[in-house]
Amino acid sequence: MTPFKVLALIVLAASPLAAQAGGGRLDAEIDRRAAQVESKVVAWRRDIHAHPELSNREVRTAQIVAEHLRALGLEVRTGVAHNGVVGVLRGGRPGPVVALRADMDALPVTEEVDVPFASKVRTQYNGQDVGVMHACGHDAHVAILMGVAEVLAGMRRDLPGTVKFIFQPAEEGVPSGEDGGAEMMIAEGALDNPKPGAIFGLHVFPYPAGELMYRPGAIMASADGLRIVVRGRQTHGAQPWSGIDPIVVTSQIVLGLQTIISRQVDITAAPAIVTIGAVHGGVRNNIIPDSVVMIGTIRAFDAAMRRDIWARVRRTAEGIAQSAGATAIVTIDSGPPVTYNDPALTERMAPTLRRVVGSDRVGIAERKTPAEDFSRYQEKIPGLFFFLGITPPGTDPASAAPNHSPRFFVDEAALPVGVRALSHLAVDYLTAR
């Protein structure tokens, strides 16, 4: 072969056309392998659904995941943040590192869906006897990522880089007095050795089955726990002037807190919520109690606004209490931050989502006020979190049972779409298409 022909082959191999040809080959291989693993994904999902485990109790689920990853020849680490599993797939060629994440825990919900694999599990949760159900779809997330691991493990020789599979416990929050979740996974090295350059995750949601929805920037809210203890002075209900009524003060604080969002912050910049969900105080109709406790939640889509709301909550509660001669002790438990899709990464990977399902089945999601501790990973590295529709044809998504409902239903026809979406995202990231 002449030097000119050698040079021509080198140029062709480096050209966009050659890259597209190679990419097309990998695309076809992903889709072929995803079709082969589809029945396994459905079976895994049904098995995990029938055997749900609450946060920090995902022992059986973690064992299933770890055994599967080991069988695929991955490097596997278990016991991360109690029950987390991290698998590392090293490709046949050097390249970047990308992470994929699925959450494993179920909820204290009694299932009302009529399927053969419905959960019959009951357990104790915070001292109560409860049913246990995958009412948020984490069973689907685990099964999908197990499928992705099998798809990509079969292609390891062609992968230019490393894929890290993160199976996380306790996304729904840990029991009282415990720790866990994404924050603990990170603290125990889930993003280390090797450190990914980006992370991808999905969540099933009542959009039409198989649709993919994403949003650059803030897509899910931060979530902070709020507790306010109002202390007055106990007295006879017939002689309120002899004490300080914390119930009246609490009522004024509840109303005052509502003005933070409606009158004090610029809601054209980003939505926010302050909700009081419970008020506890008093034991008898003719006794003004010594104290009242209220609990609630603060939601925001902007980090600066979040901190500003914290300050306004404290000022409002303490000021109203002081005006009545009472005191208010405000405790804010910082929860998951805003789930924020890195704009540059999102723009780069959005064509992948459109290629997987077609442009007409990909859209921009509205912001969601629930929170996701996937945001903890996004604080450390760029991330993209998106929604996979699971509402079956013939059902109006607007009337479909929402996540956390005892009637939450997953159309399993969407599962292979999730496998293909995460697989293509990982490979496209590694090949820098």
| Whole-number pLDDT of residue 23 | 62
> 323 φ, ψ to 5°?
-65, -20
Helix, strand, coil % (nearest 5) of the chain?
40, 25, 30
171 catalytic residue (yes or no): yes
C-alpha to C-alpha distance for 99 and 80, rounded to whole angstroms:
16
pLDDT tens string for the chain (433 positions)?
Answer: 443 343 333 333 333 333 344 468 899 999 999 999 999 999 999 999 999 999 999 999 999 999 999 999 999 999 999 999 999 999 999 999 999 999 999 999 999 999 999 999 999 988 899 999 999 999 999 999 999 999 999 999 999 999 999 999 999 999 888 999 999 999 999 999 999 999 999 999 999 999 999 999 999 999 999 999 999 999 999 999 999 999 999 999 999 999 999 999 999 999 999 999 999 999 999 999 999 999 999 999 999 999 999 999 999 999 999 999 999 999 999 999 999 999 999 999 999 999 999 999 999 999 999 999 999 999 999 999 999 999 999 999 999 999 999 999 999 999 999 999 999 999 999 998 6
**DSSP assigned state of 242:** G
C-alpha to C-alpha distance for 187 and 380, rounded to whole angstroms:
11
Contact between 201 and 378 under an 8 Å Cβ cutoff? The reply is: no
The tokens for 269 are 């910049």
| Whole-number pLDDT of residue 176 | 85
C-alpha to C-alpha distance for 189 and 311, rounded to whole angstroms:
33
| Whole-number pLDDT of residue 127 | 85
Q: What pTM did the predictor assign?
A: 0.91
| Whole-number pLDDT of residue 320 | 98
Contact between 200 and 100 under an 8 Å Cβ cutoff? The reply is: yes
Catalytic residue among 27, 103, 171, 373: 171
Query: Which bin fits 81, alpha (ψ -120 to 50), beta or left (φ > 0)?
Result: left
Pseudo-torsion of CA 321, 324, 327, 332, nearest 10°?
Answer: -10
C-alpha to C-alpha distance for 278 and 276, rounded to whole angstroms:
6
C-alpha to C-alpha distance for 74 and 205, rounded to whole angstroms:
30
C-alpha to C-alpha distance for 365 and 416, rounded to whole angstroms:
21
Beta bridge partner(s), residue 103 = 168
How far apart, in Å, do the first and last CA atoms of the chain sit?
Answer: 31
Contact between 282 and 247 under an 8 Å Cβ cutoff? The reply is: yes
Q: Residue 24 is which amino acid? A: G
For residue 294, CA distances in Å to 83, 210, 251, 283 come to 33, 41, 10, 15
**DSSP states of 119-158 as a string?**
---EEEETTEEEE-B-TTSHHHHHHHHHHHHHHHHTTGGG
178 catalytic residue (yes or no): no
The tokens for 58 are 């995902």
Angle at 282 between CA 278 and CA 284, to 5 degrees: 135
Catalytic residue among 53, 105, 150, 428: 105
Pseudo-torsion of CA 88, 91, 95, 96, nearest 10°?
Answer: -30
415-431 and 16-50 helices, crossing angle to 10°: 140
Segments in 170-302 forming alpha helices (H) = 181-187, 246-259
Cβ neighbors of 213 (< 8 A, separation 6 or more) are 205, 207, 362, 363, 364, 365, 386, 387, 389
Angle at 114 between CA 111 and CA 115, to 5 degrees: 100
Q: How many helices (H) and strands (E) does the chain have?
A: 10, 18
Pseudo-torsion of CA 64, 66, 71, 76, nearest 10°?
Answer: 180
C-alpha to C-alpha distance for 409 and 229, rounded to whole angstroms:
39
